[in-house]
Amino acid sequence: MGNSEDEAFAKRDEFKRQEAEGLFDANKTVSEYTAYWLPVYKADVKPTTYNCYVSILSTALDKIGDKQLGDVTSDHISELLASLKNRSSSYIHKTRILVRAVFQSAVDANYIRKNPCNASSVKPPKGTKGTHRAITEEERELILTTPHRMQLPALIMLYCGLRRGEVLALEASDIHGDTVTVNKAVSFNSNRPVLDVPKTEAGRRTVPVPDVLKPHLVQIDGYIAKSASGGMMSETSFQWAWESYMKALSAAAGHPVSIRPHDLRHSYCTMLRDAGVDMHQAIIWMGHADETMILRIYDHPGTEREKEAKNRLNEALNMRNNMQNITETANSPDT
């Protein structure tokens, strides 16, 4: 599907020329059509997003790429999606959307008569959900007490809910006493860091700094997570640093510790829920556009909230029993 930007643009220009002159071969394979389609219809997306599309479509083309456009049936699409059953529900959804878009463009251009992805029989598998987790209290204590150059980025993801890309873009000047300002993020293009604005307007936000984090925010400068030269970290340098951090936590714990960056953000959301923070306020601090993602956490009671609920229930029942005993005693003939 093109190994360089120049090749991608060349294919785009050739595709447009063939379309304009009616020269496109309707008997091309799905792989050949997709190679033309992707640079044309996804030319304006970010490099990281484009690379993601390439990866997803490459996996799909392993199943249907060698078939001619007109030969692909709804059964082929169902088989493709079924092969992804162990992937995340998000990945399956993105695959379905992209493959459907490829075939819909072929329909709109009159290369094929109908889109095989639109058949009612095409039902994608559910996939996996909930792959991220809230960290344990032991892991929280390890993060608070184990010195490492990735300790502060981890603490900010944990106690301010920042995404990996947001904490990699964060500078000391973005922290103002009681608040952290989030207005940029780092993505990666062929391992190189690219500074950009958040994906959505909701991503621009101001998040409170909890008291537990404040002692760690003294005498900081430049990027919070920085490369050896003091600049933004590449994807590889971040991965190496994070692996080193996990080894340090494991050594301190005396057993293997494995925490993913997004587990810390997940833990932040869990803390907001267990602290009784209103869901709509949590949406703002998490940088979500709506409640869809956060509901998965807010609708699932955590251990602390479950304990509190049990205590409240017991208190209410005990109070009710006590009141009933008092009433019965008051109404007894012996009193």
pLDDT digits (tens, 9 = 90+) for 46-97: 777 787 888 889 989 999 999 999 999 999 999 999 999 888 788 899 999 9
Beta bridge partners of 179: 176, 208
The per-residue pLDDT for range 8-23, each reduced to its tens digit, is: 556 556 655 655 555 4
**pLDDT band for position 127 (50/70/90)?**
confident
User: 146 and 217, same structural domain?
Assistant: yes
Q: What is the CATH number of the domain that holds 41?
A: 1.10.150.130
Note whether residue 124 is domain-resident.
no
Report the pLDDT value the prediction gives residue 2, as an integer from 0 to 100: 44
Note whether residue 334 is domain-resident.
no
Which two tokens mark 87?
């992937």
Note whether residue 335 is domain-resident.
no
User: 251 and 185, same structural domain?
Assistant: yes
Residue that finishes a domain, picked among 118, 153, 184: 118
Note whether residue 40 is domain-resident.
yes
User: 142 and 289, same structural domain?
Assistant: yes
Which range of residues forms the domain containing residue 61? 5-118
User: 149 and 81, same structural domain?
Assistant: no
HSE-up of 138 (CA within 13 Å, CB side)?
A: 10
Average pLDDT score over residue span 31-36: 91
User: 264 and 174, same structural domain?
Assistant: yes
Q: With beta carbons less than 8 A apart as the criterion, state whether 193 and 234 touch.
A: yes
What's this model's pTM, rounded to 2 decimal places? 0.60
User: 73 and 31, same structural domain?
Assistant: yes
Q: What is the CATH number of the domain that holds 162?
A: 1.10.443.10
In three-state secondary structure terms, 28 is: coil
Note whether residue 164 is domain-resident.
yes
Note whether residue 326 is domain-resident.
no
User: 194 and 103, same structural domain?
Assistant: no
The per-residue pLDDT for range 161-211, each reduced to its tens digit, is: 999 999 999 999 999 989 999 999 888 877 788 888 776 777 889 999 999
Tokens 């306020």, located at residue = 281
Give the Cβ contact number of residue 14 at 10 Å: 15
Note whether residue 255 is domain-resident.
yes
User: 156 and 272, same structural domain?
Assistant: yes
User: 286 and 155, same structural domain?
Assistant: yes
**pLDDT band for position 333 (50/70/90)?**
low
Say how many domains are in the chain.
Answer: 2
Report the pLDDT value the prediction gives residue 23, as an integer from 0 to 100: 47
Report the pLDDT value the prediction gives residue 201, as an integer from 0 to 100: 76
- Per cent of the chain over pLDDT 70 is 82
The per-residue pLDDT for range 234-291, each reduced to its tens digit, is: 888 999 999 999 999 999 999 999 999 989 999 998 888 888 888 889 889 988 877 7
Strand positions, DSSP E, the chain: 175-176, 179-182, 185-189, 192-196, 205-208
CA distances from 117 to 68, 89, 92, 161, 234 (A): 15, 17, 13, 38, 38
User: 209 and 112, same structural domain?
Assistant: no
Average pLDDT, the chain: 84
Note whether residue 199 is domain-resident.
yes
- Per cent of the chain over pLDDT 90 is 44
User: 88 and 10, same structural domain?
Assistant: yes
User: 279 and 143, same structural domain?
Assistant: yes
Contacts of 173 (CB under 8 A, 6+ apart): none
Residue that finishes a domain, picked among 118, 146, 162: 118
Residue that finishes a domain, picked among 118, 151, 170: 118
Nearest one of 29, 35, 28, 27 to 8, comparing CA atoms: 35
Q: What is the DSSP string of 186-248?
A: EEEETTEEEEE--SSGGG-EEEE--TTTGGGGSS--SBSS--TTSSPPPHHHHHHHHHHHHHH
CA distances from 325 to 311, 321, 332, 334 (A): 21, 6, 10, 14
